[in-house]
Structure 1
C-alpha cells in the first residue's frame, strides 16, 4: 500500500506541475498577444505628432477662410487646417503656412514653449490659437530671413515693414 501511495503522490505531483506549467505558458502567450495588439494600436494612434497644448482636429476651418474673418475683426481665436510651407531651420521655432497662392501666415508658438521639427515642410497641420494682422518691422523680417537660410543679398533687400497675418499657436498637430 505504501508503494501505491507513493506512486500516487509522484503521479499527482507530475500532473499538478504539468498543469501549472501549461497554465503559465497560456498566460504568457496571452500576454504576448496583448502586447502585440497594443503596440500596433499605439502605432496607429501615434502617426500624428502633437506639440504644445492638447488639441483635436474637430471643428477646424481651412486657413483660406482667415482673410474673410480678419476683414471683419482685427483678431480671432481659431482652429485651422493647412500645410506647412516653410519652417525655421535653426530650431523649428516658427513656420509659414500658405493661405492662398499669394499670401501666407507667419506662425509662432505661445511663450516660445514648443517647436516643430525642422523637416516639417509640406506636411498637413492642424493648429489652435490666435490669428491677427500684424506689422512686422524690418529688423525682425531680416532675422526671420536669416533663420530661413536666405543669402546676405536677399536679407539686405528687406527694407520695409510688412503687414502680415500672424498666428500664435497654443497647440499643433502635424498629420502623419
Structure 2
C-alpha cells in the first residue's frame, strides 16, 4: 500500500514537472527594470526625460559634433544579443542608419526578446573603428553572418546609462 501511495505521489510530481517545463521562458532577462508601467520598462538608471531627443540620422550626419557627447535618442531595436542582452542594434525607422547600443560599465542588460520594440535612451554617443575580428564577433552574437564582414568597420555606438523600452 505504501508503495502505491509513493508511486502515486511520484506520478503527480512528474506531471507537475512536465507542466512547469511547458512554461519555460524562451528569452533571457538578466536585469530587472528600475521602472515598470503599463506603457514601458526602464533598464539601467532612471530615465532622464528632460533632455531633447536627437534623431539617429542627425547623430550620424554630424558624428564629429556629437562624438563623446551625452545624448538622448530613439528608434527601434532591430537586433539584440541572443546570449544575454548585453547589446542591441538601434535603427531609425524607415532608414538603414543604425548604432550599436551597449551599457555603461556592463552594468545592466535588456531582455533578449525585445527586437522590434520602440526605445528611447540616454547615453554617450561614440564613433569607433572596429577591427574585422571584433566586427565578426558582434555579427555572430547578433545572429548575422560574420563571413559578410571584410576589413575594419566604422561603427556608431551609444554607451547607454538608461534604456526606456515601450511595450
TM-score where L is the length of structure 2: 0.70
Equivalent-residue separation in structure 1 for 2:127 and 2:146 (angstroms)? 23
Distance 1:46 1:56, change over 3 A: farther
The corresponding residue for 2:99 is: 105
- Work out which of the residue numbers 53, 62, 66 in structure 2 matches 1:69: 62
Equivalent-residue separation in structure 1 for 2:40 and 2:157 (angstroms)? 24
Give the gaps of 5 or more residues in structure 2.
1-35
Deviation digits for residues 117-175 of structure 1 (CA, Å, limit 9, x no counterpart)? 1111111101000001110111111111221233xxx3233231101111100111101
TM-score where L is the length of structure 1: 0.66
Instruction: Indicate yes or no: 2:46 matched with 1:54.
Output: yes
Instruction: Indicate yes or no: 2:82 matched with 1:82.
Output: no
The corresponding residue for 1:166 is: 157
Count matched residues. 130
- What secondary structure sits across from 2:108 in the alignment? coil
| Cα drift, residue 71 of structure 1 | 4.2
For the 8 Å contact 1:51–1:172, the answer to whether it is kept is yes
Deviation digits for residues 98-120 of structure 1 (CA, Å, limit 9, x no counterpart)? 14623211111111111111111
Structural mapping, 1:97-176, within 5 Å:
97-99=90-92, 101-150=95-144, 154-176=145-167
Equivalent-residue separation in structure 1 for 2:66 and 2:162 (angstroms)? 23
For the 8 Å contact 2:57–2:97, the answer to whether it is kept is no
Give the gaps of 5 or more residues in structure 1.
1-43
Larger Rg, first or second structure (1 or 2): 1
For the 8 Å contact 1:70–1:76, the answer to whether it is kept is no
Distance 1:73 1:112, change over 3 A: closer
Deviation digits for residues 39-60 of structure 1 (CA, Å, limit 9, x no counterpart)? xxxxx93431110011144432
- Report the RMSD for the aligned CA atoms in angstroms: 2.0
